[in-house]
Amino acid sequence: MSKSYRVAILGATGAVGTELLELLENRAFPVAELKLLASERSVGRSLRFNGENILVEPVSDRAFENVDIVLASAGGSTSKTWASVAVEKGAVVIDNSSAFRMNPQVPLVVPEVNPQAAANHQGIIANPNCTTILMTVAVWPLHQIKPVQRIVASTYQSASGAGARAMAEVKTQTSAILQGQRPVAEVLPYPLAFNLFPHNSPLNDLGYCEEEMKMVNETRKIFSSQQIKITATCVRVPVLRAHSEAINLEFATPFSVDAAKEILTSAPGVKLVEDWKNNHFPMPIEATGQDEVLVGRIRQDISHPCGLELWLCGDQIRKGAALNAIQIAELLVEKNLLKPLVTSH
Ligand code: A2P
């Protein structure tokens, strides 16, 4: 006996939305009906799902009627407007925006790390920030063996984090520069092609940008540990769709490199990529399209006896966003945390 669910994707035409669509199909999520929602700009477009063309609808109150799960990826302000409408109409919203992540009533879930948190949902479950998801998948298994005391993260974030239009802009800028023209920046604040810049999210009084504070605050919430000291520097780099992160971890006592490798070899959602002989380690180009977070260059921190260094790459659109959201939906199904619509044999 199998149950299936009425699903809506809010932001279906975006970079994450199209990946959500592909993952629902490829992972054979039990979809009874699928609604594709976007802005008025996309009215008239259709997208393919399981061999059918589905028309994109403009988001509206009525669009959330008779929906069990909303996968939302249309930005924070759109989520703030529509998530409560969808919940009122009986749906569970898995929200990819930052709108509800730090709300104490809203679970913030990485299924490899804190699946149990999903059970406490009151209609909305938040998908963490992409850099946070990738880091927590790699650090959590080590934290289980010896609690990490301090994390220093430096990120190298691809254009995909700023959406489909940012990815297109980098391509256009690249060809403009190659033809001797000036690159135009409209989506991102500066030209990204052949360049990089510190993440352009708003800065706080301490000089940290929002993206950096997401890594700090979201990781503490996901790990249920306010004691961990975390600092981050987030940088946008001219890579299309996978993020990289250099992570320094400090423990109370030394953590052997061999033990860390052994743990990460069998950790869920992690793939160890280390070929020291050929100097081959995780690269965004190899992480692209993969479900796992690629981790490598695990080494003793020579500046601290209890420190470990590691390097990771993960597909920002996939595990950093769409896949994590689908895994949360799968968890809700598995744990019977949704109302089933259709029962078939
Ligand atoms: P649209 O394509 O109609 O603009 P990305 O993160 O790749 O930029 O994608 C953002 C997604 O969110 C797109 O599907 C976009 O739809 C959708 N979106 C943006 N603003 C709104 C809005 N105000 N209402 C509904 N959907 C929106």
Q: Average pLDDT of 42-70?
A: 97
Ligand 1 atom having least distance to the Cα of 17: 14
- Please provide the DSSP assignment of 253-267 as one string: S---HHHHHHHHHTS
R_g of the chain, CA atoms, integer Å: 20
CATH architecture of 2-99+321-344: 3-Layer(aba) Sandwich (3.40)
Give the Cα separation of 149 and 248 in Å (integer).
Answer: 11
Q: Average pLDDT of 182-202?
A: 98
The pLDDT value recorded for residue 84 is 97
Ligand 1 environment, Cβ below 6 A? 11-15, 17, 38-39, 41-42, 59, 74-75, 78, 163-165
Residues designated as active site: 130, 243
pLDDT at 137 over 60: yes
Q: Average pLDDT of 88-115?
A: 98
Superfamily of domain 132-162+195-314: Dihydrodipicolinate Reductase; domain 2 (3.30.360.10)
The pLDDT value recorded for residue 319 is 98
Is 38 in contact with 59 (CB distance < 8 Å)? yes
pLDDT at 339 over 80: no
Q: Residue ranges per domain, the chain? A: 2-99+321-344, 132-162+195-314
Give the Cα separation of 278 and 281 in Å (integer).
Answer: 9
Asked whether the whole model's pTM tops 0.85, one would answer yes
Residue 84 CB neighbour total at 10 angstroms: 14
The pLDDT value recorded for residue 345 is 41
Tell me the residue type at 234: C
Residues 6+ apart with CB under 8 A from 330: 27, 29, 111
Q: Average pLDDT of 78-97?
A: 98
Is 5 in contact with 341 (CB distance < 8 Å)? yes
Q: Among 22, 39, 127, which is best to mutate for testing ligand 1, by the most ligand atoms less than 8 A from CB?
A: 39
Confidence of residue 48 (pLDDT cuts 50, 70, 90): very high
Confidence of residue 2 (pLDDT cuts 50, 70, 90): confident
